[in-house]
Each structure stands twice: as C-alpha cells, then as structure tokens.
Structure 1
Amino acid sequence: MQPASGYLFIEPDDQPTQTSSGIYLPDSAKGDKPQEGKVLAAGDDETTDSGAKKKAPAKKGDKVFYKKWGGNEVKIDNKEYLFVKFEDILAVVS
C-alpha cells in the first residue's frame, strides 16, 4: 500500500478489551477512538502551495500519536486502518 503524497498509512493500536483486573469491557465502555498507531507506509513528500517540500514526519515502523479525529478510515480484510495527513501527526516515538 502506497499512500498519496502528504499521507501516512497507519494501523491504529487496539483498544483493551479487558481491564487489568480481568473484567471484560463492552464496546460502549471502551471510550474514545485510539489516537496512536504504527506507521505501515509513508507517502511521498508533500509540496506546499509555495512550492516547498514537506517531508513525512514518520517512517515505516514508527509509533505515532495523531489528532483525535484525524485520518480517513478504511477497512481491509475486516481490519481498520487510517490514512492520516502529515499535519495531523502530533508526536513520533521511534
């Protein structure tokens, strides 16, 4: 999978289905969407309106934190992934 320029292809981290004490959580109790995940692929550098190049903030294998509602969800083989814009990345944990 090769994302378009200016995008990262991310596998969001799974939300816990069980508490540390062993209680299973129903879907309604899991809380907000995950805001972290693993970069599976990075698109080419983005060209800004002024013609400057904006490099990908992360590379394949990096763990990233992204904006809460950032990204476009896609489902492939019953698994959810995200295409997230470079500008929606908050932090990179290499």
Structure 2
Amino acid sequence: MKLTPLHDRVLVKRLEEEEVTAGGIIIPDAAKEKPIKGTVVAAGPGKKDEPMTVKEGDQVLFNKYAGTEVKIDGVEHLVMREDDILAVIS
C-alpha cells in the first residue's frame, strides 16, 4: 500500500529504542515507553503559503502523543502534522 500525506501532514516511522540499558539491564516490553524519534517516510506538499521544512529521510523528534497510528504492510507508522515535529536530528 502506498500512502501520500495531504497538506502539512507527515508520515513517520518510529525508531526502535534499545532493549538493554548501558548497565546491561533488559527492559521488558511493558515498561518501555514509545520512542519520540522517527524517520520521515513521506511528506505532503505543505500549506498554501508555507512549504514543508522536513523531507523524506529526515530523522525527527516529535511530541509524545502526536499523530495517528496507522499500519502499512504490517508496520506501524504515525501520520502527524508538521507542527507536531519538534526538531530535525542532524
């Protein structure tokens, strides 16, 4: 399935967090928080007078509760507004 975001929407795939801490402690799934980092998979064209500032392949930080979760080919993604993105990681 191919998904193309509209207007100022962005399709983001979450980056997986490490399951082991620096001290070697394994974190169980129930105790893990969802990561707030992701990779932009697709971006819409932007608002009428504002072009998009993120592009495909950018790694970004976003709000903890941002976006709507969707499954594409069995992989979880988030569809969110560009305003929910806090920073681009370089």
In the superposition, the TM-score normalised over structure 1's length comes to 0.81
CA distance in 2 between counterparts of 1:57 and 1:34 reads 22
Q: Which residue of the partner structure matches residue 75 of structure 1?
A: 71
Greater alpha carbon shift after TM alignment, 74-83 vs 37-46: 74-83
Which shows bigger deviation, 71-80 or 16-25? 16-25
CA distance in 2, matches of 1:66, 1:36: 7
Cα root mean square deviation, aligned: 1.5
The structure that has the greater radius of gyration is 1
Instruction: Specify the alignment match of 1:34 in structure 2.
Output: 35
**TM-score normalised by the chain length of structure 2:** 0.84
Query: Residues 57 and 89 of structure 1 are in contact (CA less than 8 Å); yes or no, is this contact kept in structure 2?
Result: no
Distance 1:64 1:55 in 2: 17
Does structure 2 retain, via aligned residues, the 8 Å contact 1:8–1:39?
Answer: yes
Residue 41 of structure 1: CA displacement? Answer: 0.8
Tell me the equivalent position of 1:50: none
- Whichever residue aligns with residue 42 of structure 1, its letter is A
Q: Distance in 2 between matches of 1:57 and 1:33?
A: 25
Q: Which residue of 2 aligns with 1:23?
A: 25
The 3-state SS of whatever aligns with 1:18 is: coil
How much has 1:84 moved relative to structure 2? 1.3
Give 3-state SS (helix, strand or coil) of 1:28's partner: helix
Give the share of equivalent positions with the same residue, in percent: 39
Q: How many residues align?
A: 88
Consecutive unaligned residues in structure 1, runs of 5 or more: 48-52
Q: Is the contact made by 1:57 and 1:92 (CA closer than 8 Å) also made in structure 2?
A: no
